[in-house]
Structure 1
Amino acid sequence: MTPTLVPHHPARDWAEIQERMLVPLYEAVYDRIGVGPGSRVLGLGCGSGLALLMAAGRGARVAGADPDPARLALARERLPEVPLALSGLPEGGPYDVITALHGAAALGSNPAAVTRLAERGGAIVLACWGPAERCATASVLRVAARLAGWGPAERKGLEAAVAAAGLSVAGSGRVACPFGYADRDSAVRGLLSTGEFDAALAATDPDQVEKELLEALEPYVRGDGTVWMPNVFRYVVARTP
């Protein structure tokens, strides 16, 4: 199968195609910890701001940070009055909810510093992919790892990240987040926007990356041309002392 050769705009593809796939995760986390009027939510790795927008829609005051300037620019379009930081952390706080819903790496190299922004008894919520056997997308991510020249990604466990922040896990959950796309093109653009393929794109010809991604997607293409990939995401909740 030949590459689609469609121009990619990762930040906008994330905002327009991929980010909505995680809405069930965002909703489940906010329901679990009771985000609503009076909540003060700090989103780390906030991307283009959909999770913050949803929290604001529940009546919460929100702030965010993300290292990607293109994604953060889109978040500023959605949330022009919200404090957003490209590097470091936005001013404000303390927060009763701090989230890193796209992986523990958003806590940075000093997670204990992040927890100091939380008020006493505040919730720290981390989320990432669930078990590989429950995630159809895991087979596609293995392609990304191979093309990047390294083995399957070793992701820091959520519990380990919580412990590094000097906290303990108070609860956890799993949420079904199927990835559904209108066609192969949308699937390629959405998955490339996640950042999971960045190392592969830097190490390999982008056309080859796209070709192998399309091949890996083929088992999930349905008769009408849509793409459907069942996945489970996992989150943990810690509470500050």
Structure 2
Amino acid sequence: MASAQVTGSTVDRVRADGPAERCGRARDWAEIQERMLVPLYQDVYRRLEVGPATSLLGVGCRSGLALLLAEGRGAQVAGVEWDEELRELAAARGLQVAPGGSLARSAHPVPRPAHSLVTVFERTPTPALVAWSAQRTLPGGLLVLAGRGPAERCESTAVLEVAHRHAPPECPQRLALEPLLLSAGLRPSATGRVVCPFAYPGLDSAVRGLLATGLFDRAEQQAGAALVAKELEEALHPFLRPDGSVRMVDEFRWAAGVGATRD
């Protein structure tokens, strides 16, 4: 019964607020969703020995939790983010995050022109974005790409089907990370697989967090926010626990590529 009340509150709020509700997505990401990827960030930083000698640029860094974790290891950090509200949240955390602008821009997005480590954790690594990011690595520096693992190893697959049903994804659901690195002139040098639990105190929180990922934006444009929220809640019911919390487990993959050194 409690879960039914939560379901109603979420759908009613989306229906009533419409576009205004979308203005809170950046804060929902920062307060609910971004912590779900902490195991991914930590595994990359541990394996690549991120520390005081690291200059890190986070491309598509959103509100900056991954940057904060790297900074806590002593790294010099900066970010690039396309969403203004997310940049404001990152700035409130004391982080230097510049607008992304167009991928065709020739100007450097941050004062430092190149970095020893560039990460693409939270944006889909398209060939254009990978090439753009690779140009911001120092000679011999590393670029890290990340994405969800195979569908059979991700419990959220059934939930993401809500988005795919209304708006088929423009990019493959399972990205081949190493070929993307090779296409940008980088040599794959390290890979990893990480389990990331997606845990929420209730359905309302789960829906808000998942909508904040941006993966359902095109579906909302096609079918309407209220319908997508309703179907998302229904898809989450198999992951409800007796105490009303929601828990799924996804596998994420990451791959690092090293750029050519110069004589």
1:87 corresponds to 2:101: yes
Deviation at 1:32, TM superposition (A): 0.9
Deviation at 1:225, TM superposition (A): 0.3
CA contact (8 A) 1:83 1:91 kept: no
- Identical amino acids, percent of aligned pairs: 44
Deviation at 1:112, TM superposition (A): 3.3
1:90 partner amino acid = V
Match of 2:86 in 1: 71
How far apart in 1 are the matches of 2:142 and 2:67? 16
How far apart in 1 are the matches of 2:234 and 2:84? 31
**TM-score, length-scaled by structure 1:** 0.92
Structure 1 consecutive aligned stretches of length 4 or more whose deviation exceeds 4 Å: none
Match of 2:18 in 1: none
**TM-score, length-scaled by structure 2:** 0.85
After superposition, give the CA deviation of every residue in 1:39-89 in whole Å (9 maximum; x if it has no partner): 100000100010011111111111110111111111111125x25234252
Q: Mean alpha-carbon deviation: is it higher for 203-212 or for 83-92?
A: 83-92
Deviation at 1:120, TM superposition (A): 2.1
For this pair of structures, how many residues does the alignment match?
Answer: 238
1:31 corresponds to 2:46: yes
How far apart in 2 are the matches of 1:239 and 1:127? 15
How far apart in 1 are the matches of 2:60 and 2:227? 29
2:249 partner amino acid = P
Runs of 5+ unmatched residues, structure 1: none
Q: Mean alpha-carbon deviation: is it higher for 170-179 or for 107-116?
A: 107-116
CA contact (8 A) 2:90 2:97 kept: no
Match of 2:164 in 1: 145
Q: Mean alpha-carbon deviation: is it higher for 158-167 or for 225-234?
A: 158-167
Q: Mean alpha-carbon deviation: is it higher for 195-204 or for 150-159?
A: 150-159
2:200 paired residue among 165, 170, 181: 181
Match of 1:58 in 2: 73
How far apart in 2 are the matches of 1:153 and 1:76? 30
How far apart in 1 are the matches of 2:157 and 2:94? 32
Runs of 5+ unmatched residues, structure 2: 15-20, 103-108
**Does the residue aligned with 2:69 lie in a helix, a strand or coil?**
helix
1:209 corresponds to 2:228: yes
> Of the two, which has the highest radius of gyration?
2
Q: Mean alpha-carbon deviation: is it higher for 110-119 or for 70-79?
A: 110-119
Match of 1:101 in 2: 121
CA contact (8 A) 1:52 1:64 kept: yes
